[in-house]
Every structure is written in structure tokens, then in C-alpha cells.
Amino acid sequence: MSMRGPIATHRSATGIPTGRLGTWWLLASEIFIFGGLIACFILFKLNGTPGFEDASLTSVTAGAINTFVLLTSSLSVVLAHAAIEKGDREKSFKYIWYTIGFGLVFLIIKTYEYTGKIIHGHTITDNLFWSFYYTMTGLHALHVIGGMVIMALISFDIRKGYNFQRVELIGIYWHFVDLVWIFLFPLFYIANF
């Protein structure tokens, strides 16, 4: 393992590697951001705010396929981590790019969905449900894009042979993005009553 950066980075008084600890704290703060939005959404939904019956207009099929895609991408990124632990750089590189591919598929389906909705006049200003729908899935999509970019950058480091621990970190982040989707899926697609 390379020793770059200050000594502080390589200390570990808690026993958890610094990078991972930092990632967990990042995710904790993300929980509050997405959690805050989800809490607001539920508050309005249970209030019976007009427009929330539009949940039946979202395509369960598209949502389910997207869930499937993200779950599979989670698998591939965890396999990338397993590979790098064994020191197999090429395999890990390959799995990371599979994950990026799945991310791309997710975004394509998302774009297709957005286009369909907008054509039917359900824009972000249509009513509160659609406002939440576009805000939350949009914020989630931004996280997906961010994750893909970081993964691409990391993958080349891996091939050159350093910063192996980052595969695990981006993996944890990616799983979190997956987790958020796992909750967005029932909120926007299934629970239409």
C-alpha cells in the first residue's frame, strides 16, 4: 500500500480505516438530506394533498427494471471489491466498468421515463407530487452520475496499481445510492393509494 499524504491519514485510533470512516460520515449526512425530503413527501402524502393520486401514473415496470439494474450494479461493484482484495486488478477494473454500464442503463431508462411524463404534461410544476418526483429522483440521478464519474477515475488508478482501498469506498457510496432508490421505488411507483 502506498503511503501518500500526511501521517494523520494513516492513523487509525478507532480501528476503522480513515477513508472508510469519512465515507460513513458522508453517508450519515446524506441520510439526513434524502431523509428530510422523504419525510416531507410522506407528510404531504398523508395529509391528502391534492395531486398525490398521480402516483398511479408512474410506470411500475420502468421502476422495477431500474431497481433490478441498480441491484445488479450493486452486485458488480461488490464483486469489484472482492476482486481487488485478492489483488486481481484487471478483474476489478472490469467489474467497475460493468457497474458504470449499469448506471448508464439506469439513467437511460430514467430519461425515457422523464420524457414520457413531460410529453403527457406532467412537468415539475404540475402539482406537488410531480415536484417531489422530479426533485427526489433528480437528486438521486445526480448522485448516480457523480458515482459513475468517480468510479471511472478510480478504475484507472486501480489499473496503475494504487489506491485500492477506494474501490471499497466508492462501493459503499454506490450501495447507499442503491438504498435510496430502494425507498424511492415504493414511494413513487408502488404506493398509489
Partner 1 sequence: MSETHEHPNYVKIWYWLLVLLAISVAGPMLEVPALTLITAFGIAIIKSFLVAANYMHLKFEKKIIWLLLILALCLLGVFFFGTAPDIMMTEGDQWIDCIADKSCIEQRL
Partner 2 sequence: MSQEAATVQTDIHEEHHEELNFLHKYILPTDHKIIAMQYIFTGMIMAIIGGYFAYAFRMQLAFPGELVPFYGLVGPGEYNMLVTNHGTIMIFWVAMPVLIAGFGNYIIPLMIGCDDMVFPRLNRLSYQIFLVSALVLILSFFVKGGGFGGAWTSYPPLSSAAEYSLTDWGSSLWVLAVALEFVSFLLGGINFITTTMNARAPGMKMMDIPIAVWFIVLAVILFMASVGPLIAGAVMLFMDQRIGTTFFLPSGGGDPLLWQHLFWFFGHPEVYVVLLPTLGIVADIITVFARKKLFGYRTVLYTAFATGGLSFVVWAHHQFIAGIDPRMANVFVVTTVLISIPLAEMMFSYIATLYGGSIEFKTPMLWALSFLAAFLIGGVTGIYLGASALDVYFHDSYFVLAHFHYTFFPITIIGMFAAITYWFPKMFGRMMNETLGKIHFWGTFIPFNCIFLPLFFLGLAGQHRRIYNYNHFPDLATQELQDIRVFATASLVVMLFFQLIFIYNFFVSMFKGEKAPNNPWKANSLEWSIPSPPPHGNFKTLPTVYRGPYEYSAPGRDLDYWPQNEPPEKS
- The site for partner 2 (CB under 8 A) is made up of 3, 5-14, 16, 18, 21-22, 25-26, 28-37, 39-40, 43-44, 49-51, 124-125, 127-128, 131, 135, 139
Tell me how many residues contact partner 1 (CB under 8 A): 53
Enter the DSSP assignment of 7: G
CB nearer to partner 1: give 48 or 119: 48
Q: How far is CA 192 from CA 48, 53, 60, 112, 149, in A?
A: 12, 6, 11, 21, 34
Residues 138, 141: Cα–Cα separation, whole Å: 5
Give me the numbers of helices (H) and strands (E) for the chain, helices first please.
Answer: 5, 0
Q: Check: CB of residue 20 under 8 Å from CB of residue 172.
A: yes
- Binding segment for partner 1 (CB under 8 A), chosen from 46-54, 98-106, 112-120, 140-148, is 46-54
CB nearer to partner 2: give 13 or 119: 13
Quote the cell numbers at residue 76: 458488480
Quote the cell numbers at residue 165: 482501498
Q: Check: CB of residue 24 under 8 Å from CB of residue 175.
A: no
Of 26, 75, 109, 139, the one binding partner 1 by CB under 8 A: 75
CB of 48 to partner 1, least distance (A): 6
CA atoms within 13 A of residue 102's CA, in its CB half-sphere: 23
Q: Check: CB of residue 72 under 8 Å from CB of residue 91.
A: no
Q: Which does 10 bind (CB under 5 to 8 A by kind): partner 1, partner 2, none?
A: partner 2
- Binding segment for partner 1 (CB under 8 A), chosen from 100-108, 109-117, 139-147, 176-184, is 176-184
185 binds partner 1 (CB under 8 A): yes
Binding site for partner 1 (CB under 8 A): 1, 14-17, 19-20, 24-25, 27-28, 31-32, 35-36, 39, 42-44, 46-50, 60, 64, 67-68, 71-72, 74-75, 78-79, 82, 85, 164-165, 168, 171-172, 175-176, 178-179, 182-183, 185-186, 190-193
